[in-house]
Amino acid sequence: MSAAPQDPPPELRVCALLREAVGWDRLVVVVARDVDTRAALRGSDPVLEGYCDLQQTLLQGPSLDAFTWGAPVLVDDLHARLPWPLLSSATPPDLPVRSVAVLPLLVPAGAPTDRPGATDGPGPPGAPGPALGVLTAGRDRVDPFTQAQVSVLTHLAAVVSALLVHRAATGELVAVDVAPNDDLAVAAGMLAEHLGTTAGEAKSRMRAHAFTSGRTLNGLARAVLDGEVAVGDVAHPR
Amino acid sequence: MDVEDRGTRASSRVQDRGRPSSADGGAADGLEGLARDLADLARALQSAASPQEVLDRAVTTAVALVPGAEAAGISLVRARRTVTSAAATSPSARRLDELQTELGEGPCLDAVFTHRSTRVDELARETRRWPALAARAGEVGLPSMLCLQLFVDGDNLGALNLLGGEPAAFDDTSEQVGLLVATHAAVAVADARQLAHTHLGLAHRDVIGQAKGILMERHRLSADQAFALLSTLSQDLNRKLHEVAADLAATGELPQRPQPRPRSEHRSEHREHRPQDREQR
């Protein structure tokens, strides 16, 4: 599958084919190794990507649960009371997204699960194994995803997973479609050097700073690289 | 990598050698048991966290499920020449791979490339197919073999090798069950490798980013300058960029370039290698 560089990646082009049938306003595909080693595919919706960043910052939310448990997670209304208290309190009141369906991207591309995850919390233990990311579809109105729609999304996630692993093997995926944003890693490296510590410890400091300053982890990283926030201020908050 | 030392499961199964695929007897029950075992295997392989864990689980389960199997190993063959053990439940399986590499012959170097399964009733008697290997069969310690193809990629191969403690330890049932196990293992190994590929790509990007950040903070460089410095060092050292970055991120130190030797050292070394020069002069 060849495409001009400005075209969306093939995964998002496949998703677009089902947009009308399922009905979503926004979609993001995140490839992840762990909670802090992750990247959204180029062309993903920036608002949903920001909501994923917020979950990464707070270490809780539907995306993290879907990734960890390997099961779909549905949220009927992001502005309602949620089982993730920090996320609930930190969700911006003007976030336009209301209903979301988060599907794990599993390897091997799994068959549709018999438990469509119609819960607002983590799935039961024994869920399928390692995930390589999540696919999140969002609607800008309170309109919960139905079981049939989740079933279609589950198939779509399987196709997206297959495409991702195929393109990862050629190196194209990381080189072209998830590479541009390494802000968090760079800022963590700077802070690690400043503090004489590890990148993991640096990310913990950044997470704390981001939480207290009302930013996301990636937002703070960008601010550091743009010179808006000094590395020293993150290292030694006043 | 040995599985034998990591738990008791593999060794306890050795006592079940030669048993039918289900311990509870009758044909229908046996089939049900096998189906259940294979489903368990598929789940276990899919939930493994790394390619190595997939391989380890596959060999352990193969010994447990395949009638007659006492030991198992997964062999990777490169360029039809080098046979390496990717996982093994016993030293016998690993020794078989070493011998095949050393002698340049054996089932993994020919038969398994063209046949999905190859049964060897007694390795010491294979004097026509693999004479050198047959002569040293005693070093393997287990006389019979069942070799199952996992994948073939040009001159590269992956094989699941099962070893039996008695001559002709494997029968048709062993072969059928073995092929089912190998099919599950092949799919799981391929998937695990692909997943590792995806994760590695992200990890490399992350560690290169960290290294850039360290250099930017340490030397007041721009992101582009830091990347250029890493790239130059990678070329000078003939090492991959992510390896150089990982060293820096882990130790805080840039890997050192090889130091150029002084000219006098070059000259004296040159003379030492050509003593006839002095005699001629």
Q: Which fold has domain B197-259?
A: Arc Repressor Mutant, subunit A (1.10.10)
Is the per-residue pLDDT at B1 higher than 50? no
Is the per-residue pLDDT at B7 higher than 80? no
CATH number at residue A78: 3.30.450.40
Residues A26 and A69 in one domain: yes
- What's the predicted TM-score (pTM) here? 0.61
pLDDT band per the 50, 70, 90 thresholds, residue B26: very low
Cβ of residue A189 closer than 8 Å to a chain B Cβ: yes
Place of tokens 């990646």: A9
What is the per-residue burial (b if ≥16 Cβ within 10 Å, else e) of A140-168?
A: eeeebbeeebbbebbbbbbbbbbbbbbbb
Residue A27 falls inside a structural domain: yes
Residues A129 and A201 in one domain: no
Place of tokens 């593999």: B10
Strands B71-78, B156-164: parallel, antiparallel or unpaired by DSSP? antiparallel
B195, B203, B213: residue with CB nearest A130: B195
B47, B187, B209: residue with CB nearest A186: B209
Residue A203 falls inside a structural domain: yes
B213 CB neighbours in chain A (<8 A) are: 185-193
For position B42, what pLDDT does the model report?
A: 67
Contact (Cβ atoms closer than 8 angstroms) between residue B160 and residue B74: yes
Which of A125-139, B99-113, B155-169, B237-251 comes out lowest in average pLDDT? A125-139
pLDDT band per the 50, 70, 90 thresholds, residue B48: low
DSSP 8-state secondary structure symbol assigned to residue A180: S
Residues A77 and A22 in one domain: yes
Round the average pLDDT of chain B to a whole number and report it. Answer: 77
Q: What is the mean pLDDT of residues A58-86?
A: 94
For position A179, what pLDDT does the model report?
A: 55
Residue A96 falls inside a structural domain: yes
Residues A61 and A154 in one domain: yes
Output the furthest CA–CA distance in chain B (Å, rounded): 92
Domain ranges of chain B: 9-193, 197-259
> Hey, how many other C-beta atoms are within 10 angstroms of the C-beta on B210?
31
Place of tokens 């990862």: A168
In chain B, the residue whose alpha carbon lies closest to the alpha carbon of A38 is B202
Which residue, among A182, A203, A224, would best test binding to B if mutated, counting the most B CBs under 10 Å from its CB?
A182
CATH number of B9-193: 3.30.450.40
Residues A88 and A39 in one domain: yes
Which of A64-68, B96-100, B179-183, B269-273 comes out lowest in average pLDDT? B269-273
Structure tokens at B260: 């150029």
Q: How far is B124 from chain A (nearest CA, A)?
A: 41
Cβ of residue A35 closer than 8 Å to a chain B Cβ: no
Interface of B with A (CB under 8 A): 46-49, 187, 191-192, 194-195, 197-199, 201-218, 223, 249, 252
User: How far is Cα A161 from Cα A151, in angstroms, rounded to an integer?
Assistant: 15
Looking at A144, A159, A177, which one is the last position of a domain? A177
Is the per-residue pLDDT at A88 higher than 60? yes
Higher pLDDT, B28 or A183: A183
Is the per-residue pLDDT at B14 higher than 80? no
A37, A196, A225: residue with CB nearest B203: A37
| Total number of domains constituting chain A | 2
B215 CB neighbours in chain A (<8 A) are: 189
B192 CB neighbours in chain A (<8 A) are: 107
Q: How far is A47 from chain B (nearest CA, A)?
A: 22
Higher pLDDT, B4 or A85: A85
B187, B209, B211: residue with CB nearest A108: B187
- Which residue range forms the structural domain that includes residue A204? 183-235
B216 CB neighbours in chain A (<8 A) are: 186, 189-190
B217 CB neighbours in chain A (<8 A) are: 189-191, 193-194, 231
DSSP 8-state secondary structure symbol assigned to residue B163: E
Contact (Cβ atoms closer than 8 angstroms) between residue A199 and residue A189: yes
In chain A, the residue whose alpha carbon lies closest to the alpha carbon of B245 is A189
User: How far is Cα B234 from Cα B253, in angstroms, rounded to an integer?
Assistant: 14
Residues A70 and A167 in one domain: yes
Q: How far is B151 from chain A (nearest CA, A)?
A: 17
Residue A3 falls inside a structural domain: no
Q: What is the mean pLDDT of residues B143-154?
A: 87
For chains A and B, count residue pairs whose Cβ atoms are closer than 8 Å: 117
